[in-house]
Amino acid sequence: MYCLITIRPTEDIADAQTIWREHGIQRSDDRHSPLAATAIVAAILDSEDTIHWPSTLYLCEVAQSSRSVVGDTVVSYARSLIAWLNYLSEREVAFTDATERDLQMFRNFVWNAKPNSISQFPISKSTVTARVETARRFHEWGEKTKRFSSPLGEWTHVKTDQAKASRQGPYPSKRSAIALPPAQRIPRIVNSTELKKIINSAPQPYSLIFKWAVTTGLRRMELCELTKPRLDSVSYHGETEHVMSFDTIRKGGRRVAVYLPSKLLHDTRWYLNMNRPKPRAGAAPFVFLTSSGCKLHREEVSRVFRFFANQAGTPAVFHHLRHTYAVTTLEILQRQANAGSSINPLKTLQILMGHASITSTEIYLAALDVYSDDVAEALDFLYGAAT
């Protein structure tokens, strides 16, 4: 079975340099490597704990081109590749012998996979698409770079060239013929019943973190990185006494204003003064800490949310709290626009969500139609009882 190991160059290289100096070992300076500034470098090991170089080199290129500040993109690609390689290994098919048929069978295998021990719900369509597309791109990369060759790589390479030619012809195609058809993804919201069960059941600081996510739209990373000095900069927004704001660094390094209900800030200050554990070394600046006083990590937030979502009987994941914020906020903005306000609901939501492109924001329009009743209930819970 294949497995993943990760290295954080910005941290691990510095630690290695210190150890080498202490032992008098002369080494070349790896800090100038193209990978030194990346968040995470991923390597895949085979069943004999030997580096599987084709997939590892592919992940190195992904790491260099990714804009992820925490390395999530690389890890996601790595997990998809491991699923593909393990699938081939169990069927005694060498990855260099993989064909289009194998990829189609892999898609069916992932789609029909049983729920795992972490979640009691089936795998999502978007995850199936991501895993299949990653396998396809890996083989196409192998063919283009001549790192390795395979029937699947040859097929994808030919199809890509054909798609490019058709787009440049007199009747350009709108879509590559190579791509496996992705499912239309509608953002899922967590309805008020689910929210109440999850938030009321979870202990601190998780209950408070879930409230932050669903009323501000902040991501796991942004919440785990939230600091006390940042909270000290919070001020009332405009003339209202119910909404406050502060600037923070969002995904992609963009500085964006975050808006939050004043009650949420009061609940957070109560946690800081009454419930927050004594911080351990290095954790003092961060708002949310574990019971042992350590800085909270994203994986732990997701794990706890998954546990209480399972208890609530919902397939929701933590990121769906951000979807809930987006859809409910868009509903409010559209109501204001219909009442005569000059605001542009989509553009305003794009700014609030920290999206680089408005295309990412437009998907929430479809969600409004799908979840119209749930939105009404969530609005009442979020901006009534919850705030």
In our burial notation (b when 16+ CB lie closer than 10 A, e otherwise), range 358-373 reads: eeebeebeebbeebee
Work out the burial of residue 353: count CB atoms within 10 Å of its CB; fewer than 13 is exposed, 13-18 middle, 19 or more buried: buried
Give 52's Cβ-side CA count (13 Å radius): 24
Here the tokens at position 365 are 């329009």
Cα distances (Å, whole numbers) of residue 19 to 7, 80, 94, 339: 16, 34, 40, 65
Residues spanned by CATH 1.10.443.10 within the chain? Answer: 192-385
pLDDT tens per residue, range 232-282: 888 776 555 677 777 776 665 667 778 888 888 899 999 999 999 999 988
Q: Which stretch of 110-114, 173-177, 357-361 has the lowest confidence by average pLDDT?
A: 173-177
- Average pLDDT, integer, range 343-364: 79
Residues 6 or more apart in contact with residue 116 via CB below 8 angstroms = none
Q: Residue 43's closest CA among 33, 31, 57, 29? A: 57
Q: Tell me if residue 170 falls in helix, strand or coil.
A: coil
Answer yes or no: are the C-beta atoms of 348 and 220 closer than 8 Å.
no
Judged against a pLDDT cut of 70, whether residue 303 lies above it is answered with yes
Q: Which stretch of 103-117, 126-140, 168-182, 250-264 has the lowest confidence by average pLDDT?
A: 168-182
What is the spatial distance between Cα 227 and Cα 285, in angstroms, rounded to a whole number?
Answer: 5
Q: Residue 224's closest CA among 169, 288, 173? A: 288
What is the spatial distance between Cα 358 and Cα 344, in angstroms, rounded to a whole number?
Answer: 12
DSSP state of 171: S
Q: Residue 130's closest CA among 84, 61, 191, 166? A: 84
Q: Residue 249's closest CA among 257, 238, 241? A: 257
Give 129's Cβ-side CA count (13 Å radius): 10
Here the tokens at position 270 are 């109560």
Q: Residue 193's closest CA among 9, 342, 324? A: 324
Q: Looking at the domain that runs over 192-385, which CATH code has it been given?
A: 1.10.443.10
What are residue 216's phi and psi, to 5 degrees? -125, -20
Answer yes or no: are the C-beta atoms of 49 and 67 closer than 8 Å.
no
Judged against a pLDDT cut of 60, whether residue 25 lies above it is answered with no
- Could you please report the per-residue DSSP string of 110-134? HHTPPP-SS-SSPPPHHHHHHHHHH
Between the ranges 10-14, 95-99, 327-331, 367-371, where is the mean pLDDT highest?
95-99
- pLDDT at position 286: 93
- pLDDT at position 169: 47
pLDDT interval class at 287 (50, 70, 90): very high
- Average pLDDT, integer, range 29-36: 54
125-145 vs 53-65: helix axis angle to the nearest 10?
Answer: 110
- In angstroms and rounded to an integer, the radius of gyration of the C-alpha atoms of the chain is 24
